[in-house]
Amino acid sequence: MVPGATLQRCATLIAIACAFGGLLTYFRFQQVFAEDAGGISALLQIFGTLYSVLYAFATYVIWGQFTAVESEILKESGALKDLIVFSRRLKENDREPIVRAVKNYARTLLETEWQALSRGNSTERTDKLFFEIVAAVTAVKFEDDAERAIFERLLEITNEASAHRDERISLSVKRIPPTLLAFVVLTAMAIMFLLFFYPFKNAFLGIVSIAVTTMLLYFAYFVVTDLDNPFEGTWNLDSAPFRDLVTKIR
């Protein structure tokens, strides 16, 4: 659901835009440009096409990043789950430190790392806890070939989890380039600017067009900026895979 504050801001912007457009219409400001309606229409079409291309590109980049982080979360949590599952064939003294390290890491990640990544802060605390997982795995002592095979598999899974963690963090701190976002916003503002100058023959149609365009451009901006940070806002990445490591996996 779209937050109430967002809807309120949208309604406020629509009211301001409609009031400004109505004021210009009342003073017949647009009629000064009646002979230039074709030129303004052409400019609106050009800027509209440019905006659609820019917005599509920005959305593609951001959505790709969003889904990539989600994929790495599933892969990392899946590797840690495999670590617990494959460790069941170890002696209890060897297995218990691994399970404890994984659960401590997952619990701390839920408590601190989501918020740290949303603010662009460091993840030093969970880094240390992940190193404890590595230390618990490398401390396993094997006595025969069967245990050696298990140990090698655990090392392989740990390496996979480490790679997915590095990739997840790297993707999580990326944000839309400010230049691209500024270009999208400026193009949207240019569309609104030209719309105020367009000489609609029907004043009511002009006000409605301004209201609808304001709403669409605002929500387009909202979607881009909300998806840009996958850890806060309306649409967030779910931490359930790591929560399951703490509560369900034994």
Contact, 98 vs 141, CB < 8 A? no
Q: What is the pLDDT of residue 174?
A: 86
**Domain total of the chain:** 1
pLDDT at 227 over 80: yes
C-alpha Rg value of the chain to the nearest Å: 27
Q: What is the pLDDT of residue 148?
A: 86
Q: What is the mean pLDDT of residues 87-102?
A: 88
Q: What is the mean pLDDT of residues 173-177?
A: 86
Q: What is the mean pLDDT of residues 123-135?
A: 91
Q: What is the mean pLDDT of residues 143-163?
A: 89
Q: What is the pLDDT of residue 207?
A: 94
pLDDT at 56 over 80: yes
pLDDT at 32 over 90: no
User: d(Cα 50, Cα 60) in Å, to the nearest integer?
Assistant: 15
The count of C-alpha atoms lying within 13 angstroms of the C-alpha of 241, restricted to the half-sphere facing its C-beta, is 16
Give kind and range of the element (H or E) at residue 194.
Answer: helix 178-197
Q: What is the mean pLDDT of residues 45-66?
A: 92
Contact, 18 vs 203, CB < 8 A? no
Q: What is the pLDDT of residue 98?
A: 92
Q: What is the pLDDT of residue 128?
A: 93
Task: Enter the tokens of residue 162.
Answer: 């480490």
Verdict on whether the full-model pTM lies above 0.85:
no
Q: What is the mean pLDDT of residues 140-162?
A: 88
pLDDT band with cut points at 50, 70 and 90 for residue 21? very high
Nearest to 54 by CA among 230, 220, 233, 222: 220
Structural domain boundaries enclosing 52:
4-247
What angle, 0 to 180 degrees and rounded to 10, lies between the N-to-C axes of helices 178-197 and 203-228?
170
Residues of 119-136 as b/e, b for ≥16 C-beta within 10 angstroms? eeeebeebeebbebbeeb
Task: Enter the tokens of residue 187.
Answer: 């193009």
